Amino acid sequence: MGKKKGNHLPDSSRQAPLENLRTFGDPVLKQVTGPVTVFDSRLEKLARVMFAVMEREEGVGLAAPQVGTLTRLMVWRDPENEDERHVYVNPHIVAQSETCCTESEGCLSVPGTMMEVTRAEEVDVEAQDLTGAVFQVHLAGLLARIVQHEIDHLDGRLIVDRTSPEERRRVLKELRERTLAGSS
Ligand SMILES: [Zn+2]
């Protein structure tokens, strides 16, 4: 995990503004992010842009690769609590329950489709805030699911990589048909 150096954008993506949401098929979504080592105003700005994109797209979480940057940073919110906003820098799962649950899950980068994904019911996550301070949280249910989903993005993994082979085939076919329809 996280073996890439620096927080550079991939060459092909340098021109695209951060506000553009990257979607399925964009190679940046399959890459592993590099750890954040500098906690500066650039990092804050990235988090701000990510919150704005998350709100605009009406999502509950967003990871840096979804705006084309390979930085180990994610933002999320509790859909039940409008006032809560969270930024996790360099997050990783330190413990997870053996109990799993399977739920229908969507992703802003795989628009218009939902798929069944099995995830741990509870997780302990360690992360840093925008100042670099380390903290640990225990999350359960939907909140644990949101954070596992975003950490997957930071490791270059999408929900299509987490679902059953049958679901995967169905979704890829759907996406292909939509792309073909869109380009004709
Ligand atoms: Zn996603």
Per-residue model confidence as pLDDT tens for the chain (184 residues):
222 334 444 444 455 777 889 999 999 999 999 999 999 999 999 999 999 999 999 999 999 999 999 999 999 999 999 888 999 999 999 999 999 999 999 999 998 889 999 999 999 999 999 999 999 999 999 999 999 999 999 999 999 999 889 989 988 888 888 877 766 5
State the residue for tokens 């503004």: 17
Could you tell me if 61 and 149 are in contact, meaning their C-beta atoms sit under 8 angstroms apart? Answer: yes
Residue 181: predicted pLDDT: 78
Q: How far is the CA of 106 from the centre of ligand 1 (A)?
A: 7
Q: What is the pLDDT of residue 9?
A: 46
Gap from CA of 97 to ligand 1 centroid (Å) = 22
CA atoms in the 13 A half-sphere facing the CB of 163: 20
The rounded Å distance from CA 41 to ligand 1 centre is 25
How remote is the CA of residue 137 from the centroid of ligand 1, in Å? 21
pLDDT score, position 40? 97
Number of domains the chain contains: 1
150 is known as an active-site residue: yes
Identify the CATH number of the domain in which residue 84 sits.
3.90.45.10
List b or e across 13-46, with b for residues whose CB sees 16 or more CB atoms inside 10 angstroms. beeeebeebbebebebbeeebbbbeeeeeebeeb
| Residue 6 belongs to a domain | no
Q: How much is the pLDDT for 3? A: 28
What is the pLDDT, as a whole number, of residue 5? Answer: 39
- Evaluate whether residue 4 is within a structural domain: no
Range of the domain at 175: 12-183
Pick the catalytic residue from 44, 57, 105, 150.
150
7 domain residue, yes or no: no
Asked whether 86 and 138 are in contact (CB, 8 A), the reply is: no
5: in domain: no
- For tokens 């150096």, the residue is 5
